Amino acid sequence: MCLIFLLIIMQRMVTSSTAAVRQSLERRLQVLKTQSTRIGSLTEEDLAELDIEDGVEEAIEAMSLDIDTEIEELERIIAVAKQAEFQYPDVKVEKLVDTIDEILSEDRDQKIIVFTEFVATQAYLKKLLENRGFTVTILNGGMNIEERNEALLEFKTKSNIFISTDAGGEGLNLQFSNIIINYDLPWNPMKIEQRCGRADRIGQQRDVHIYNFIITDTVECRVREVLEEKLSVILKEMGVDKYSDVLDSEVAEVDFTEVYMNSIGKPRSVEKNLYPVESEVKQQVANAQKYKDIIREEKDLRSLVGTESDFDVDGALRQMMAYYESWKGHDLRLIDRISINDVEITKHLRTSIIQDHDSQLLSIGIKDFPNEAGYFMLWELSISDEESGKRIIPIFVNENFILRPMAGKRLMDVFLDGNSKLTVKSAPNISEEEYKKLEAMCMDFAYDTFVELKDKQIQTKKESYTKYMYALQLRTEAAEHIGIENIRRSRLAKLEREKAAIEAEYKKGSQVYPDFRMMIMIRLEA
């Protein structure tokens, strides 16, 4: 499976840049020569979770079915790649340069965003464009937050061209640019909409122009043509005008890996390979439409406040007190019943709240923005200390206590936009009753996010546990063949202890306790 994925990535690299495929082939050759291939192979589930940027390294380390033959073939192909790289320019590069020249000839101060799938192509394009006199900034998933911020500042103030991978581009606000060139196209067409959203957001004053590069007469091109045709038909049948209308739904996460993997071997069976994905997309679009009916802007959610959920609050409180007493070194006390109004519990809960109804409120006005009066809040939902187990949720509730589901994110974009003009003054505190009403509405709104976080963590823990147990099984089978009895017994006993520790850790990690606390609340003026 991993070798097929490697083949697909290499084919995609060929259509990206000769430099990218040559460098990856050289790394693959080095891996084979040092025999440092992985002791296993990736499953389809592993491949589905891989970002292309990370997947290259995973695939390069795949086991070889015939090392000697593959080494011989790689050396021959690398020689051809070097010759091609030296003698001929990449067709896409020439088109890219022509496009950039045309854009900058009309406006020398224009900012251009270029997306690629591969870090090697990114480095290749940077060097080539700089040699032709352009100023270039790059961003990829291997850069830390400080490097990312420096790159964004450089692009905004100095350079003309910004080359980013998808992993590097997550969460970017690039509305000061309105030109996007998709030098490499992602497998899922929905991802293109996500790229466009980096520039096409609140604060964008101009039309956003998109250039998509793809080489004709390739399997990738054929799959994409059929994909886009079927997606357009599906969305039209479901009453969806454009991709972006379902961008926030699970449709954007549908995995097309298997379609490409099956199609590369049988290019004529593209439509047949698309049947399972087509069904999944239809289901996800239908779900997205149902969600939109539920969260319409005009819907008054006050009637939903106080509705029951399946979450066992009392059980969670008992566990919290038990763990707290154990941490202090006290004997574990079995608690029959704890109320949310318990003095000790209230003290703990209040210490975890950054801002409550007793805190001073700020009143903020946004110039030339059509918002309602009400309350804007940031809540932190966490189920673990890891960043992947936390979400910051922006929520807006108007002064009539109607929660506007989409307004929170829109207001967050405005506050993060350096061009927004704000007025700030103090505001009177809200009453305890109003605070509790807001808190209850926000908890209800955040429940789906909690379920998503919980399911993701449990799935991750389960996959890790399964891999550990499989590795232990292999090690146990190997230990059982040790000829010296006392060494065999000792090794098996050690493995048994390791297994018990892994099982205990897995059981502990499967228990999820959410923490929901307000980070900030402001009064928003109309």
For every residue of 372-391, DSSP letters joined together read PSEEEEEEEEESSSSGGGEE
Q: Quick one: pLDDT band at residue 295, thresholds 50, 70, 90?
A: very low
> Measured between alpha carbons, how far is 186 from 170 in angstroms, rounded to an integer?
14
Q: What is the pLDDT of residues 370-419, one digit of tens each?
A: 888 899 999 988 888 777 788 889 999 998 999 988 888 888 888 888 78
pLDDT of residue 101: 92
All domains of the chain in start order, with CATH: 2-87 (no CATH), 91-294 (3.40.50.300), 296-526 (no CATH)
At 427, is the secondary structure helix, strand, or coil? strand
Token reading at 127: 């060097």
Tell me the residue type at 137: T
**Cα-based angle 389, 192, 242 (whole degrees, multiple of 5):** 100
pLDDT of residue 111: 92
Terminal CA-CA length for the chain:
57
Tell me the residue type at 314: D
Whether 17 has a pLDDT exceeding 90, the answer reads no
> Which position has the higher pLDDT, 90 or 57?
90
> Measured between alpha carbons, how far is 512 from 320 in angstroms, rounded to an integer?
12
Q: Quick one: pLDDT band at residue 39, thresholds 50, 70, 90?
A: very low
pLDDT (mean) for 196-204 = 76
> What is the share, in percent, of the chain residues with pLDDT greater than 70?
70
Q: What is the pLDDT of residues 105-115, one digit of tens each?
A: 888 889 999 99
Q: Are 229 and 270 in contact (CB under 8 A)?
A: no
> Measured between alpha carbons, how far is 353 from 356 in angstroms, rounded to an integer?
7
> Measured between alpha carbons, how far is 522 from 363 in angstroms, rounded to an integer?
6
**Cα-based angle 124, 211, 249 (whole degrees, multiple of 5):** 105
Q: Are 460 and 407 in contact (CB under 8 A)?
A: no
Token reading at 166: 């998808």
> Measured between alpha carbons, how far is 260 from 273 in angstroms, rounded to an integer?
8
- Helix, strand, coil percentages (3-state) for the chain, rounded to 5, are 55, 10, 30
> Which position has the higher pLDDT, 126 or 237?
126
> Which position has the higher pLDDT, 430 or 509?
430
Dihedral through CA 443, CA 448, CA 451, CA 453, nearest 10?
A: -90
Burial class of residue 80 in the structure, from the number of CB atoms within 10 Å of its CB (0-12 exposed, 13-18 middle, 19+ buried): exposed
Q: Quick one: pLDDT band at residue 42, thresholds 50, 70, 90?
A: very low
Side-chain half-sphere of 166: how many Cα atoms within 13 Å? 21
pLDDT of residue 130: 92
Q: Quick one: pLDDT band at residue 45, thresholds 50, 70, 90?
A: very low
Q: Are 397 and 374 in contact (CB under 8 A)?
A: yes
423 has which bridge partners?
365
> Which position has the higher pLDDT, 159 or 34?
159
Burial class of residue 141 in the structure, from the number of CB atoms within 10 Å of its CB (0-12 exposed, 13-18 middle, 19+ buried): middle
pLDDT of residue 332: 55
Whether 136 has a pLDDT exceeding 90, the answer reads yes
Entry pTM: 0.50
> Which position has the higher pLDDT, 212 or 343?
212
Q: Are 495 and 479 in contact (CB under 8 A)?
A: yes
> Measured between alpha carbons, how far is 487 from 497 in angstroms, rounded to an integer?
15
User: Lowest-confidence range among 38-47, 66-75, 433-442, 463-472?
Assistant: 38-47
pLDDT of residue 76: 86
DSSP state of 398: E
Token reading at 212: 């998509």
Q: Quick one: pLDDT band at residue 4, thresholds 50, 70, 90?
A: low
Q: What is the pLDDT of residues 320-333, one digit of tens each?
A: 676 666 666 666 55
Report residue 52 CA to chain centroid gap.
Answer: 12
Q: Quick one: pLDDT band at residue 161, thresholds 50, 70, 90?
A: very high
Tell me the residue type at 13: M
pLDDT of residue 376: 94
Taking the CA atoms of 397, 403, 406 and 409 in sequence, report the sign of the dihedral they define: positive
pLDDT (mean) for 278-287 = 71
The β-bridge relationship of strands 374-382 and 390-398 is: antiparallel
114 has which bridge partners?
163, 181
> Which position has the higher pLDDT, 20 or 364?
364
Q: What is the pLDDT of residues 447-475, one digit of tens each?
A: 888 888 888 888 888 888 888 888 888 88
Q: What is the pLDDT of residues 235-254, one digit of tens each?
A: 777 666 555 555 445 555 56
Q: Are 116 and 140 in contact (CB under 8 A)?
A: no
Q: Are 523 and 363 in contact (CB under 8 A)?
A: yes
Q: Quick one: pLDDT band at residue 215, thresholds 50, 70, 90?
A: confident
Whether 477 has a pLDDT exceeding 90, the answer reads no
**Which residue, chain included where needed, has tokens 């040790």?**
482
pLDDT (mean) for 13-35 = 78
